[in-house]
Chains A and B, each alone.
Chain A
Amino acid sequence: MLEINNLHVQVAETGIEILHGLDLVVKNAETAAIMGPNGSGKSTLSYILAGHKGYKVTQGDIFYNGQSILGMNPAERSALGIFLGFQYPIEIPGLITMEFLKVAINALRKARGQTELKVPEFINRVKEIAKRLSISMPMLKRPLNVGFSGGEKKKIEILQMSLLDPTFCVMDETDSGLDIDALKIVADGMNRLRSSQCSFLIITHYQRLLDYINPDTVHVLSKGKIVRSGDRDLAVYVEKNGYANIIGVSCG
């Protein structure tokens, strides 16, 4: 279970506070959606969960399965099972995607006290998931995310998510830049993992993704705080009426 208590976060370089006392609980196997207008702190929340050094927690704490993760670096959080799906996946020229997947899988397996995955088993796993996601094998021989379309990058994120055996996935605007077919494929990838008791925190602007991934809870984030929580109906309401009413009520 993820528990965020009174979290205050600043941009490390400028000292500007982005999150102002955020509280949130995501239970095991729960899928929570975070919605909110631009600049409300959604991406900051995802980065801080993954351990980005560009942000500084000045107050509050984050617990994952009862353990504070604030002192952990991104690799240690990843080993705990926390996965961040990037809004803009990073391009790494020179790093062949397939090689990267192997290094990442085995790094995590080592950190989790498991033995290295043997090459045939690794290839079979990659092939199986790549096929489901309509990712061609030649694409995996290309440098990571270099020259990939927006949709291809997001599919590679889902491929990584599926291979790295996470228990808590933070998906930062995974639906942005996806056509409807790609959206279905990506949603299917997430739903498969959902069925294996993995929790999700899905950050999105639109209800469209939530048509394919039915969230258990929906939270509206504004000015660095959760201002409204509810069920799927809240996402429908936001889609129909926008945020003004919710934010206005909260601020009023």
Chain B
Amino acid sequence: MLIDRTQAEEAIIENFLNSDSLPNLLFPREMREAAMAAFKEHGFPSRKRESWHYTDLRNKLTRISSYSDDHNDGRPILPLILGNVLFSVVNGKAVSNSVLPPVFCTPLALSPSRALNILRDFSITNVISQVNTAFASDGWRINVQKDVFLDNIIEIQNLQNGGQSHTCFSVSVAEDSRATILERQLGDDQESFLSSVSDIDLAEGAEVLWIIIRERGILSTELNRFYARLDKGARLKLVIINAGLHLLRQEVHIDLNGSRSDFQLRCINLLSGESHADTTMKIRHFARSTTSKEMIRNIATDTSCGVFQGMVQVLPTGQKTDAKMLCQSLILSKDAECHAKPELDIFADDILCGHGATFSTIDRNQLFYLMTRGLTFVQAKAVLVKCFIKEQIEGIGQEDIEKALHGVLDHWLFLHL
């Protein structure tokens, strides 16, 4: 039990007392109370907890944005790409959806979602589940039926402009189906506090490309958890680009449960000002002949901080696993910092696993070379930053998506170089 609670912890507890109208279909009140009981006991984790060592949430989160369980309707924004099928949540409430016959969808506030219960572990370090379960107000449940090849992109929007929101997204893709899911986490410059949990089940032979574009204001704090379970032969490619935010904790948990399932991650963190972005990942290879490859790139300027904690775990049943993990950080200012903690946890003896981490700054010789060809200092620097990131964006296989990701990068470069 915590003796001294921080102002932010007190606010969370007080908010819960005013959260009677949260939908019980999403999480029964008893479950929410259990989550809050765990939070009351543990509070926000500090650097003393190993998995939060580089993100001392207890000290970083000095205050919490105002809370209201009255979630006003808002309007979704236009889809990123014409033809995308929209599933929007605005200020914590599911507001609209398009109709796409092979996809079953429903707002989570209106339907119980047993699948979500899998996530609800309220252990000491799992503050994201504690807070999200206690306060989750809405989200979308999306089921892609069997043998469906979706041409249209499913676009999930989570828009939050000030205040708090706590949302969930539950996606399942049935056997031998293919889908592209674009998750946009967007917000303005108002102070905001969010938790968002996405979980996805890929059945045998399913293939999903999931892109997360996160552009929030500099006063925004987001706690995010992405949890995927892959059955036999399923393939998931996750592409994440994070720009803005005051504080982000992005957790990625992947279970490769079926043989020959494959997970690929490309993550770009664009950090400026006082931003702190923590990508914490755990890949578990449960089944034989599973593969995973993760590439993380951080660009840090001003006094920002990037954190990557990645663990690849190969269970005794995971023989013939092939796993690679690489985190590379480009540090653009003397006060910016990046931390990387890649780990392998191996319990099988016939596997191929590797990991690495690099830290660098702009190569002065490359900068000089470009400037001798007429590029200004800023242009040359931008070119070199783009070269560092390019590999993460290219080869995704969807031209419109690549263009959108380049757009986020260009906008960030324009603002911060």
Q: Which residues of B lie under 8 Å from residue A95 when comparing CB positions?
A: 383, 387
From residue 98 to 152 of chain A, which have CB atoms closer than 8 A to chain B? 100, 103-105, 107-108, 111
CB-nearest residue of chain A to B388: A94
From residue 46 to 100 of chain A, which have CB atoms closer than 8 A to chain B? 50-54, 73-75, 77-79, 83-84, 86, 89-90, 92-95, 100
Report the minimum CB–CB distance from B109 to chain A (whole Å): 45
Q: Are A107 and B374 in contact (CB under 8 A)?
A: yes
Main secondary structure, interface of B, reads helix
Is B360 interfacial (CB 8 A cutoff)? Answer: no
CB-nearest residue of chain A to B365: A90
Q: Which residues of A lie under 8 Å from residue B369 when comparing CB positions?
A: 86, 89-90, 92
Is B48 interfacial (CB 8 A cutoff)? Answer: no
* Count of residues in B whose CB is under 8 Å from the partner chain: 22
- What is the 8 Å Cβ interface bit string for chain B, positions 44-75, against chain A (1 contact, 0 not)? 00000000000000000000000000000000
Q: Are B374 and A78 in contact (CB under 8 A)?
A: yes
Interface size range on A against B: 20 to 34
Q: Which residues of A lie under 8 Å from residue B376 when comparing CB positions?
A: 75, 107
Given contacts A92-B384, A94-B386, contact A104 B366 (CB under 8 A): no
How far apart sit A86 and B370, CA to CA, in the bound complex (Å)? 12
Q: Which residues of B lie under 8 Å from residue A164 when comparing CB positions?
A: 373-374
Q: Are B368 and A104 in contact (CB under 8 A)?
A: no
Q: Which of B364, B373, B383 has the most CB of A within 10 A?
A: B373
CB-nearest residue of chain A to B373: A104
Q: Are A84 and B372 in contact (CB under 8 A)?
A: yes
Q: Which residues of B lie under 8 Å from residue A111 when comparing CB positions?
A: 374
Given contacts A54-B364, A92-B366, A103-B379, contact A74 B384 (CB under 8 A): no
Is B375 interfacial (CB 8 A cutoff)? Answer: yes
Is A160 interfacial (CB 8 A cutoff)? Answer: yes
Q: Which of B375, B379, B388 has the most CB of A within 10 A?
A: B375
How far apart sit A51 and B369, CA to CA, in the bound complex (Å)? 11
How far apart sit A89 and B375, CA to CA, in the bound complex (Å)? 16
Q: Which residues of A lie under 8 Å from residue B373 when comparing CB positions?
A: 78, 100, 104, 107-108, 160, 164
Taking beta carbons and an 8 Å cutoff, which residues of A are in contact with B? 50-54, 73-75, 77-79, 83-84, 86, 89-90, 92-95, 100, 103-105, 107-108, 111, 160, 164
Can you list 25 contacts pairing A with B, beta carbon distance less than 8 Å?
Answer: A50-B368, A51-B371, A52-B368, A53-B364, A53-B368, A73-B371, A73-B377, A75-B372, A75-B374, A75-B376, A75-B377, A75-B380, A84-B372, A86-B369, A89-B369, A90-B365, A90-B366, A90-B369, A92-B366, A93-B387, A103-B379, A105-B374, A107-B376, A108-B374, A164-B373
